[in-house]
Structure 1
């Protein structure tokens, strides 16, 4: 039987911070992550969805967590086709046209940012959460395959927010062919039955 790791979506969630869960002396950035890692073996780092971390930041993440701890890292919004504010891009890329060259450069920086986690043995799965606007079909599959190719050496998980994906007979074979994990979401518009890939 496989081990199941349990964690939360981030260690800086507003509700978690307001709950008093972090003890005195562990409420700064470093202390929160260190404390979190004593209670959970896994966390979904969702901040890279909003802004790319620097390799220095992820080096700190690795240093502040014990051996065996894992970060499942959410892909940046632009890499998944979400609308992306210019301020969410690195400053030198904000005026760049939204084209393949921008996606390639953003992917390169995302991979470089995750490299300290990979080298430390802390990188879990890359989570690609696709927007409701991404409907099933050949164009969407090509877009997802391109992301998978960029992430070919890393575990890859896909979360679809458009319910049509979960009702399509093509989805399971498609994800299986990609070697991708299907991420099930608890949402009223999405089916509760997960796909096993």
Structure 2
């Protein structure tokens, strides 16, 4: 059954949004009692022990899923080249999530141009190590042309719908049947809360995709002002 997965980058609960969540439990337990997905961004900056991932997995319901952001060691430092060792380490760490690992998110630096051979090899390496959904948020214009679309389609990698889009010269072109949206806040990135009209449109779009049998993730990354949790709950209420 297709699902709409609604969540935030992280699981902090600002005081202003606290009334929408239970009062008891850890932040993650309270968060997961309402929302059914979360993006782990800290993995981009530093490794975590498998036991840490195990603890997170044990804190959420069976139906909950995490997306884990690929380490910047691979995406920003190695720039997708010679990543076998780093990928094995990342995969070994995240085994603690078990079946609650729903997606690996690959966010690329704005300066990284498409190199088809390198990208093909990298995504094959991701697929060798992970059996879940793979999503890619590229931010250089070269990743939005026909060559990139064909490459992502062949690799079964979901192109992220980003708001605001960066590097994307035209409308979004899907590369798989699934959807992964990252809403960073607009007009002020990471800060702005989304207005009701935007959330209405997002809810209608997600409902349509799920109704067609397609999984759809929507992650709010406008966390700097604490808007993400309230926006996620408001979107979930519209879908309910």
**Which interval holds the TM-score relative to the shorter structure?**
0.7 to 0.9
Match of 2:106 in 1: 128
| Higher RCO (CA < 8 A, seq sep 6+) | 2
Classify the secondary structure of the residue corresponding to 2:33. helix
The offset of 1:113, in angstroms, is 1.3
* Contact 1:77–1:83 (Cα < 8 Å) also in 2: yes
Give the Å deviation of 1:25. Answer: 6.0
CA contact (8 A) 2:22 2:33 kept: no
C-alpha RMSD of matched pairs (Å) = 2.6
Q: For structure 1, which runs of at least 5 residues remain unmatched after alignment?
A: 85-98
**SS of equivalent residue, structure 1 residue 157:** strand
With over 3 angstroms needed to count, the CA separation of the structure-2 counterparts of 1:51 and 1:179, relative to structure 1, is same
Where does 1:14-29 land on structure 2 (aligned, <5 Å)?
16-17=13-14, 19=16, 21=18
Residue aligning to 1:95: none
Say whether the 8 Å CA contact 1:134–1:140 is kept in structure 2.
no
Q: Count residues in correspondence.
A: 171
Residue 134 of structure 2 is aligned with which of 156, 168, 189? 156
The Cα shift of 1:24 comes to 9.2
Q: Do the aligned partners of 2:135 and 2:158 also contact (CA within 8 Å) in 1? A: yes
In 1, distance between residues paired with 2:6 and 2:39?
A: 10
The yes-or-no answer on 1:170 pairing with 2:165 is no
Aligned residue among 51, 61, 65 for 2:60: 65
Q: 1:111 aligned to 2:87?
A: no
Q: State TM-score, norm by structure 1.
A: 0.75
